[in-house]
Structure 1
């Protein structure tokens, strides 16, 4: 994922940061318990806030249930909820975040939760380190809370591009390096990571700004990734809308998959090499599961590892060279581009037949590919395209969302 691969380093001008941090500690805007300042922001009179707190009342009329996602969970405690991300990054240890209903007092927590970041919800200002967050915020009608993005140029969504076009949205990592000063000066309610920590985040945390991990890419299933819309619903108080949106996506995905399950599998060649090594999806990867669900078969399908395999070109040509359909993960638009990368592709049966596909239908000028943005929330659209490739007879007249056949 493009934004998931951004690596960032701390900003400069330490003295300026000290001044900013001091100001934040005094104001504690939107943060509960991350600094010495008392508890709840915005005021209890704000929309979505508790106006007359009763400790016996359960303030979560809609409680989210997770069906597919396994890398985070949500628990409810009358006036606050706890989100726990099991793996905030590859090799990371579980992290918990305490989301307190606006207008409720700061909960007195013990044990591991005593040190967990606390923030008031619904939030009014979020910084996002990945374009994968944008479709969820847009689907929830919450783009207005987006006040910072890593890179404006990588965004595909027209609504989001309009939102970030002005100065009201801060761009804090346009070249891939986070600017801690910009983040701290903007005082967002929280920063959502791309599922990777960054040295700059230490400065952000010290400033009292909660840093929350979004690691949907570590989920094992397409619908598990899509269900992270509920993570953003917890932050924005849009639980009912998230449930309705996700249920529709999951239902459409299952309907498409059930249709493909009745067809005989179609042999395909997947992915492409980089510097002589092929990044080959296994049957245990999310992409592998979508190919299986779309009625495709390939030589590495029986490998249940959640990581891609790395065969060399000779192995791929031997095992999959006769496949008549080639589904790549590139931004190629023509067969000439493919051949320029590796002349030996001309030996592949799929190259000879002309059945080469790439998810390059929605790629912006900066190279931002919408399959890695919208496709994360909408696996139903991705698998629909894949079924139309592997079994065109099942999807006559299909209008492709992400994939195109190379010219």
Structure 2
């Protein structure tokens, strides 16, 4: 996927496990996975993420994804088995949406937001394919692409299945905005496990970042994921506390107009959470919903013409670009006072906006950027990475 776009963009394996036949009584050394209710299990304590859960039953790790897309009608259950224990375990394949041997040695992922997580876990070398590799900005992964180690497998909704099969991935991590997933169904028919990642459905920035714990068990990197996320969480919460020391609370306008409709974050969205945690007065903070609002330019002007700061004006990189797109933008005080901050000026080698790739895993950086924009006195020596002043 190209991560989700608007204020923040939206965007987007081979061996079925020969050991994973229906549960039968075979050799005496085989074990049948006991039902969860009857077995001794441990559940990983996720502090922020609400859309997945991890349980361990003996040597088996069970991951349940509750909502890989909005209004999903079923949970997706995945069983992960250590490669060296596979011969001693038999599972009923019908009880799981995928059964996967770990650690994964060859993987295909489908969203640029997956790339930083692989790199943080130190497993980027397991990546063998990606749809539209030109979207990837990370220098580390781009070097793998340039070396021919990561193949372009076509567009996300039209993946080249033959090429994907030739790459022999052990797992495809996919994403979808609804239950119409013909490409993934075709991949599964080729006996390649597909696992859905739903990090983008989380309601909070830290909830999204905590999905590093979803990736970690596939590579047996749970301890490393815990260490990484704990540090990110610490940095985020410390920045949040620091922001509360500000003596002012600037009013905030967000988003941009597209075809005469202004799109901006709803009051319960993760973007609005960033603004709240940065101690900002987001003008639409009281609205309901976790997605975006669609408003007329007249209503936005009426409420926000005198907003102190404008965050996230889409793809626009300069005040000149904004004015060329619509003279109405120049009527906002934030435009006149040069108080507009954008992610569009932080791009990778191939022109991709790095925010869309990296921000989900580094909410601590995003929050510090926003604090710097609206309370510069709080972080006087901080250099923003994503949100920078418009040119």
TM-score by length of 2: 0.87
What's the CA shift for 1:30?
Answer: 6.7
What's the CA shift for 1:369?
Answer: 1.4
Superposed counterparts of 1:118-133, under 5 Å: 118-133=99-114
Structure 1: stretches of 5+ with no match in the other structure: 8-23, 37-51, 57-61
Aligned length: 370
Distance 1:29 1:209 in 2: 6
Q: Secondary structure of the equivalent of 1:394?
A: coil
Distance 1:72 1:222 in 2: 15
What's the CA shift for 1:177?
Answer: 2.8
- What CA deviation, in whole Å up to 9, does each residue of 1:319-356 have, x standing for no partner? 11111211124232210111122111111111111111
Q: Which of 60, 70, 86 lines up with 1:80 in the alignment?
A: 60
Distance 1:256 1:272 in 2: 27
Matched, 1:373 2:357: yes
| 2:20–2:91 Cα contact (<8 Å) kept | no
- What CA deviation, in whole Å up to 9, does each residue of 1:343-386 have, x standing for no partner? 11111111111111101232236542111111110000000000
Compared with structure 1, are the counterparts of its residues 159 and 124 closer, same or farther at alpha carbon in structure 2 (3 Å cutoff)? same
- What CA deviation, in whole Å up to 9, does each residue of 1:173-195 have, x standing for no partner? 25863212222222211101123
Partner of 2:120: 139
Matched, 1:158 2:139: yes
Q: Which of 213, 217, 221 lines up with 1:234 in the alignment?
A: 217
What's the CA shift for 1:202?
Answer: 1.4
Q: Secondary structure of the equivalent of 2:238?
A: helix
Distance 1:348 1:314 in 2: 12
Superposed counterparts of 1:69-218, under 5 Å: 69-92=49-72, 93-105=74-86, 107-109=89-91, 114-174=95-155, 177-196=158-177, 198-218=181-201
- What CA deviation, in whole Å up to 9, does each residue of 1:116-173 have, x standing for no partner? 3111001001101001011111111111111111121111111111122233222112
What's the CA shift for 1:101?
Answer: 1.1
| 2:313–2:342 Cα contact (<8 Å) kept | yes
Matched, 1:282 2:269: no
Q: Secondary structure of the equivalent of 2:164?
A: helix
Q: Secondary structure of the equivalent of 2:86?
A: coil
Structure 2: stretches of 5+ with no match in the other structure: 5-9, 23-28, 34-41
Partner of 1:313: 297
| 1:3–1:194 Cα contact (<8 Å) kept | no
Partner of 2:323: 339
| 2:32–2:90 Cα contact (<8 Å) kept | no
Q: Secondary structure of the equivalent of 2:293?
A: coil
Compared with structure 1, are the counterparts of its residues 175 and 191 closer, same or farther at alpha carbon in structure 2 (3 Å cutoff)? closer
Distance 1:368 1:177 in 2: 21
Compared with structure 1, are the counterparts of its residues 216 and 32 closer, same or farther at alpha carbon in structure 2 (3 Å cutoff)? farther
Distance 2:81 2:94 in 1: 13
